[in-house]
Amino acid sequence: MKGENIKMNNKPNGTKIVVLGGLGEVGKNMYCVMHKDSIVIIDAGVSFPESELMGVDYVLPDFSFLKENQDKIKALLITHGHEDHIGSIPFLLQSIKIPAIYAPRHAKELIAVKLEDRNIRYDSLYAYDDTTKLKFNDIEVEFFLITHSVPDSHGIAIKTPDGRIVTTGDFKFDLTPIGPMADLYKMATLGHEGVDLLISDSTNALNEGFSTSESKVDTALNDMFDQYPWQRIIIATFASNIYRTSIVLNIFLKLVINIIEKYVYLVEVWKITLKYLQKVDI
């Protein structure tokens, strides 16, 4: 499926979607929307090597399509700050000229650190939010907030003369999320106005039923800590699941504050006792 071109209709200059990675696989997400002489890239991720790729740190998308069409590239748009969406940016910038990168604020900070680590100077990294609208010749772009395990995750709606393409980024529907709610109204509006091509995938999307809300995970973890207050609890989670990590840190802070409060109380008891002892002159 890699490198497969999807034509939106039979017009001679019809919009094309060129997939360089992330279709039918986990990781190295990178799609391109091309209309006439303009290309907008969506995400530039890495995937992590399987055990047979000994000594390999990252697996990158195949950039050869971009090398061949360098002069048409207008911008790279980032949906969110996970490695499988931003990880290949330093390698991309070393081989291809990207006129501008637009990312949500959180992802922008992560990209800036990544570039600094590799001593790459790049002055065209911009933050967007869900009110930002961009235009690159015939390609119009807007963004909408979605719920994911990192803050500031967005879907992207792209309009060309051939129709509207919506890519969701990684998402889950959670009506009681930790963090901001997805912009369901904007999604519904886009749906109402009409979407010609929806590009969407989500891990475990083929499993039936609903994902557990993150606030239920919060309650369950709090209950567990209440149940075993002085025992060792080991928690494993994806390091990139920022919201879940913040739940665990909040519980930890609550425990520390409890201990300090108990300690402060003991100190007060000792102070009162000492005063009493001094008064009664024992």
Instruction: Give the binding site for Zn ion (CB under 5 A).
Output: 82, 170
Q: How far is the CB of 110 from Zn ion (least distance, A)?
A: 12
Q: Which is nearer to Zn ion, 142 or 152 (CB)?
A: 152
Q: Tell me, rounded to whole angstroms, the distance of Cα 72 from its chain centroid.
A: 27
Q: H or E element: which one contains 174? A: none
Q: Which is nearer to Zn ion, 90 or 104 (CB)?
A: 104
Q: Which is nearer to Zn ion, 22 or 159 (CB)?
A: 22
Q: How far is the CB of 149 from Zn ion (least distance, A)?
A: 7
Distance CA 139, CA 237 (A): 39
Q: How far is the CB of 243 from Zn ion (least distance, A)?
A: 12
Distance CA 277, CA 93 (A): 74
Q: Which is nearer to Zn ion, 153 or 160 (CB)?
A: 153
Burial degree of 281 (CB within 10 A; 0-12, 13-18, 19+): exposed
Q: How far is the CB of 181 from Zn ion (least distance, A)?
A: 18
- Contact 136/40 with Cβ under 8 angstroms? yes
Q: Which is nearer to Zn ion, 162 or 170 (CB)?
A: 170
Pairing relation of β-strands 163-167 and 154-160? antiparallel
Q: Which is nearer to Zn ion, 82 or 172 (CB)?
A: 82
Q: How far is the CB of 82 from Zn ion (least distance, A)?
A: 4
DSSP state of 237: -
Q: How far is the CB of 111 from Zn ion (least distance, A)?
A: 15
Q: Which is nearer to Zn ion, 152 or 183 (CB)?
A: 152
Q: Tell me, rounded to whole angstroms, the distance of Cα 222 from its chain centroid.
A: 25
Which 3 state secondary structure label does DSSP give 75?
Answer: strand
Q: How far is the CB of 223 from Zn ion (least distance, A)?
A: 28
Residue with structure tokens 């990781």?
Answer: 27
- Contact 218/247 with Cβ under 8 angstroms? yes
Q: H or E element: which one contains 220? A: helix 214-227
